[in-house]
Amino acid sequence: MTGSYEGKRGLVLGVANRRSIAWAIAKRLSSGGAELAFTYQGERIEKNVRDLAESVSSPLVTECDVRSDEDIERVFREVAETFDGGLDLLVHSVAYAAAEDLEGRFTDTPRDRFWLALDISAYSLVSCARAAEPLMEARGGGAILTMTYLGGERTVPHYNVMGVAKATLDASVRYLAWDLGQKSIRVNAISAGPVRTLAARSIAGFPTMEAIVEERSPLRRHIEADDVGAAAAYLLSDDARNVTGTILYVDSGYHSMGM
C-alpha cells in the first residue's frame, strides 16, 4: 500500500495511545505518504497524542471536544489553514458511554447519559462530516471512515447504550453517504471484532466477548488493531473509489454466524 496516499491530507480523531485503532490506521496512511493532523480530548492524553503525531511528522495537533459545534468548527478552520484549504481523508474513531452504563441493564440508562453516548459516539460524525464537506469538495472529493461494532445490529450483553449509539452511527453513515456522494465524498464504516484498546477496558465482560469470537468465528482467531488498519487503508484509498455507505466487517467472520 506504500505510496497510495502521496499528496493526500487527512485528519484523525480518536488516537489515545499506541494501541488505539485510530493510531493503527494513521500509521498505514502515513507510511503510504499521507500528511496527517490529529486531535485529542483532554490533557490526560495530550502528551501521548503529541508524541505519536510527532513520530509521523504531523503539522497539526489540536484539542477537540466533539460535543461542541464551535470547537469542531475551530478545528476544521485550523485544518484548512494547515492544508491550504483542502482535506482528503477523515478518520472518525470517537465513542463514549459512561462506565456504569456498560454493565447491568440497558433499561436503567438515565436520559442524560443516553443522549451523551449518542452525541459523542454518533452525532459527532455528522458534525465532523459537515465541517469537512467544503474542504473535501475543494479537493474534488474525499473519504470519511468511522468505527462501528456488531452491537449496533445485535444484542451484546453489557454493550447496552453503546449498541444503540452504534446503530445510530450505522444509519448516519448511510445517510451521509447519500448526501455527500454527489460531491465525490465517500462515507464508510468498519465493524471490528473485539480489540484490546483503552476503551475496551470499560466494557464489562470484554474478555468473554473476545473468547467467544475466537471460539465461534470461522477463522477462530483474535482481531488486532493492525487488521483494522489494513482494512481502513483500502476504504480510504482510491482503490475503493466506488465503495460508499458500506460497513466492512473485520471480525474473523463472526458476524456471519448464527450461533
Residue 4 lies in a domain: no
Confidence at 127, pLDDT banded by 50, 70, 90: very high
Residue 259 lies in a domain: no
Q: Can you give the pLDDT at residue 2? A: 46
Catalytic residues: 149, 159
Residue 110 lies in a domain: yes
Q: What is the CATH number of the domain that holds 139?
A: 3.40.50.720
The H helix count followed by the E strand count for the chain is 8, 7
C-alpha span between 63 and 125 (Å, rounded): 16
What's the mean pLDDT when you consider all of the chain?
94
Q: CA angle 122-124-129, nearest 5°?
A: 110
b/e 197-207 (16+ beta carbons within 10 angstroms → b) = bebeebbeebe
DSSP helix/strand/coil, 147: strand
Residue 127 lies in a domain: yes
Task: Give me the sign of the Cα torsion angle 195, 17, 24, 143.
Answer: positive
Query: Residue 48 belongs to what domain range?
Result: 9-251
Residue 46 lies in a domain: yes
Q: Kindly tell me the burial class for residue 222, based on how many C-beta atoms sit within 10 Å of its own C-beta (0-12, 13-18, 19 or more).
A: middle
Residue 257 lies in a domain: no
pLDDT tens, residue by residue, 184-228: 999 999 999 988 665 655 566 667 777 888 889 999 988 999 999
The count of structural domains within the chain is 1
Is the overall model pTM greater than 0.85, yes or no? Answer: yes
Residue 258 lies in a domain: no
Q: Can you give the pLDDT at residue 211? A: 82
